[in-house]
Structure 1
Amino acid sequence: MTLPRTARRSGWTSQLVLASLAQTTSTQNKRWRPISVLDDWVAKEARPISLRQLMVFGRSLTEARLISSANYVRTELPTRLAHRLRDIQQLPYAVVSNPHVHAVYELYYKAFDTLRKFKEIKTLEDNDVLCSVIGQTLQAHLPVIPKLAMGILECSELMSAHELDKFMNTILRARISRRVIAEQHLALTETFNASWYSPGAPLPEGHEFIGEVFLKCQARDVIDRCAKAVCSLARSAYGPDVQLPDIRLTGHLDTTFPYILSHLEYIIGELLRNAVQATVERHQRRQQEEASRYPAGNMPPPPPPIEITLCEAAQHVIIRVSDQGGGVPHDMMPYLWSFSKGKHSQQLLENLKKVPRMAATLQELRVDDVNQQNSAELGDSEQPHNNSLASLSRRPPNLRLGMGLPLSRVYAEYWAGSLELHSLEGYGVDAFLQISKLGNKNEQLTMRASMDAV
């Protein structure tokens, strides 16, 4: 079936989607459900939450509060899924038909169809059933990020980079939001059922998590943990004798703030990974170029350090990561924050095929043996809080996927923060991560009204 160019490129109305689907084969028709099923759910807006709300709600947990949380999750998850299903349906059909985008649609529709049928949660037993379904869904959706990324790269000639990036940012931010509320409820249920917990009582002294929210997230500790993981990763990629840059930390080292630990670890891990890789590779190139200057047996100077500065203000914490890795190549600058990568797309597609599951957590920066070693060194007290995001993707240590920075920015902006990067080509990069310190900012969601207004 040949479609008008304007219809392919500008996005279709739902009526045009239905009309075109009616002309496809019966096999293709099975891929799509009537969109009327979504109408009632799409008519609802998501109800944003803040870290402070999560903390206050879970601080003195009772059976009534747990059941209230279950019913919020029971209605909120299918609402948010319905909006994203509608977004996918409004893509050009050539994009919708991409096997990777289609696979994501199928995963989302199955979860939506299952969750929308749940009756009101009235008992702890009802909640246990809901939690079981949520846990299975979270695991089933681990392939979503690499599939979306492959679909976007393959469809880069069918839509503009701006449209594709807007779609990806909306989908990924919504994905984070669903996992936050789902995993928060699972963690609250786990706390309520723990032998040490007394319903309605305050948390015992020394317990620093309310669900998935880390009450006193200390940036210094997160940076130290990420630095160990990234340095171990670099040794796996470049050899045990590689010269690594020192990672120097200065500034307000004792600052703490409430945050979801896995989010911060992912952002810091990606920034450090980029900085270490760029610094090591530039240093190795210089060593090769200047090898004749060093007599046999003499060691060349070490690579320049990576400087990390913590700055605490009244409302925010700012983390600056500065390296001397040569900066971002000029031909990559247009794609820095984009999920579309132009001429680099084909190589990234090959890399993404090697990562079938991706949770977007710090653990994915580690290979298995390094991960086990780090776990032993750090001890249980410093391990990321248990959640369904913790499975490894077994990502090869030097495998570039082209989505670390754009995905890190999605994570940063989710809780009303920001991530900016300034590159001096030929010298290095300064990355600035700003985090809301008080936890009083609502999650930044893309609402239906803003999507339909475009």
Structure 2
Amino acid sequence: MATPPNSPGAQSQVAWVSKEARPISLRQLMVFGRSLNEQRLISSANYVRTELPRRIAHRLRDMQTLPYCVVANPHFNEVYELYYAAFDKFRRVPEIRTLQDNDSFCQVISSMLKAHLSVIPKLSMGILEVSADGMLPAQELDGFMNAILRSRMSRRVIAEQHLSLTETFQTPSFSTGVKDSDTEFIGKVFLKCNAAEVIQRCSQAVLDLARSAYGEDVALPEIKLAGHLDTSFPFILSHIEYIIGELLRNSVQAVIERQIRDGTASTAPPPIEVTICESSKHVVIRVSDQGGGISSDVLPYLWSFCKGPHSQRILSNLTHVPRMAATLQEVRVDEPPASEVKASTKRASYVSSLSSLTSRPPNLRLGMGLPLSRIYAEYWAGSLELQSLWGYGVDVFFQISKLGNKNEQLLTRAMVDAI
């Protein structure tokens, strides 16, 4: 894994590490993409061209400063090699000057995004193995994992935003004078993400999955929606779908499995209540269930990627997950059908992708849904909190910054050094 200190790549990495990341907000993504033209597209390409190696270099530095016994883990080593190859590739990309240059650059971005789908499972397996061997305290490993996953999320946001802007620009019907009222998306940003609609789509996907998993004889809980149902805000749809999908999936499974344990699987279970509350600056979504709560042997590890006595079981499950996109469909081994790729609108392609949620069986517990959901929530200056009452149920509170004016929450070098 070691990179020769005097090699050109190592010297280049030192230079890139000296540059802090330049965070962006949802509002900046919207404003920049609102009046898309050739000059803006090329400017976007050059931002991505210089920002990706900058952010990857910082994560390489984090891995290089870990104890050798940690980085020698084969899963960590594979991730390091992927990161170094990506850094070396992006740092060599020359300035983007033409649309043809941008097309070539987009091919590089797409190939790297696909190659890095294995990062989350590999990191998770590495963390579990290292923590089980006691090589590093769980708190330090969680700090490292949070930093590297938040950075990964940030890179995918800016990369996928540029790919989406390029796709929009190349659409035959594209007009540089398009107004916000004429479109639902600017790149990957959904301008008017309606919380109630997202919850309803995720609810249907989760209930369909539960029906296929538990069979026709098991009664499913009703998911009741209340509160400010007209609430909308700018957001990246795949992020909120992942969070809501995981929260509902956890609640539905908990309620059903409690009914099965109690011998009342065929009787109507208590509903899952989802409440939307809107203020001038925030939206809070509360998910409440009566699934029995979280047991005391699981609760201490709930937000951690280190699972203590549960590590071996989760490690075994992770071996069945070669790639993970961390979207609502979560595990995507196969490419999407052509009918999805060619959907007439971005909304249609997002909705059709929900069917892939069934890719992961319910009994394949990975222990990553809540930690990943919290990273997604905090990335745009939101939060995710949970209250459990053992023997009764769980309340989860997901807070969203609704104005889109908060920068992505990145970890600086000083913050990482303090971990």
- Report the TM-score when normalising by structure 1: 0.85
Structure 1 distance, partners of 2:393, 2:302, is 15
Instruction: Say which of 275, 281, 295 aligns to 2:251.
Output: 275
Alignment of structure 1 residues 77-92 onto 2, 5 Å:
77-92=52-67
Would you say 1:402 and 2:367 are equivalent positions? Answer: yes
Could you tell me how far apart the structure 2 residues matched to 1:366 and 1:86 are? 29
Q: Partner of 1:133 in structure 2?
A: 108
For the 8 Å contact 2:128–2:305, the answer to whether it is kept is yes
Residue pair 1:146, 1:352 contacting (<8 A) in 2 also: yes
Q: Structure 1 residue 428 and structure 2 residue 393: aligned? A: yes
Q: Does the C-alpha gap of structure 1 residues 29 and 365 become closer, same or farther in structure 2, counting only changes over 3 Å?
A: closer
* Residue 190 of structure 1 pairs with residue 167 of structure 2: yes
The size of the alignment, in residue pairs, is 410
Please give the alpha-carbon distance, in whole angstroms, between the structure 2 residues aligned to 1:119 and 1:381: 31
Q: Distance in 1 between matches of 2:358 and 2:311?
A: 21
Matched, 1:99 2:74: yes
Deviations 1:137-193 (A, max 9, x none): 000000000000000000001110100100000000000000000000000001111
- Cα shift readout 1:352-385 (whole Å, capped 9, x = no counterpart): 00000000111237999xx99xx8xx99674455
1:87 to partner: Cα distance: 0.4
Q: CA RMSD in A?
A: 2.6
Percentage of pairs with the same residue:
66
1:106 and 1:338 map into 2 onto residues whose CA distance is 25
Q: Which has the greater radius of gyration? A: 1
Once the two structures are superposed, the pairs formed by residues 10-409 of structure 1 within 5 Å of their partners are: 35-156=10-131, 157-199=134-176, 201-203=177-179, 205-287=181-263, 301-364=267-330, 382-385=347-350, 394-409=359-374
Give, in angstroms, the shift of residue 301 of structure 1. Answer: 3.6
Q: Distance in 2 between matches of 1:36 and 1:222?
A: 46
Distance 1:357 1:391, change over 3 A: farther
Contact 2:328–2:354 (CA under 8 A) maintained in structure 1: no
Gaps of 5+ in 1: 1-27, 289-298
Confirm whether residue 448 of structure 1 aligns to residue 376 of structure 2. Answer: no
Distance, in Å, in 1 between the alignment partners of 2:217 and 2:345 is 29
Relative to structure 1, the CA distance from residue 389 to residue 220 in structure 2 (aligned partners, 3 Å threshold; closer, same or farther) is closer
Contact 1:358–1:393 (CA<8 Å) still a contact in 2? Answer: no
**Aligned counterparts of 2:2 and 2:370: Cα–Cα separation in 1:** 37
| Partner amino acid, structure 2, of 1:130 | F
- SS in structure 2 at match of 1:438: coil
Match of 1:191, as an amino acid? Answer: T
**Is the Cα–Cα contact under 8 Å of residues 266 and 408 in structure 1 kept in the other structure?**
yes
Amino acid at match of 2:210: A
| C-alpha deviation, 1:233, in angstroms | 1.0
Quote the Cα distance in structure 1 between the aligned partners of 2:98 and 2:232: 37
* Shift in Å, 1:203: 3.7
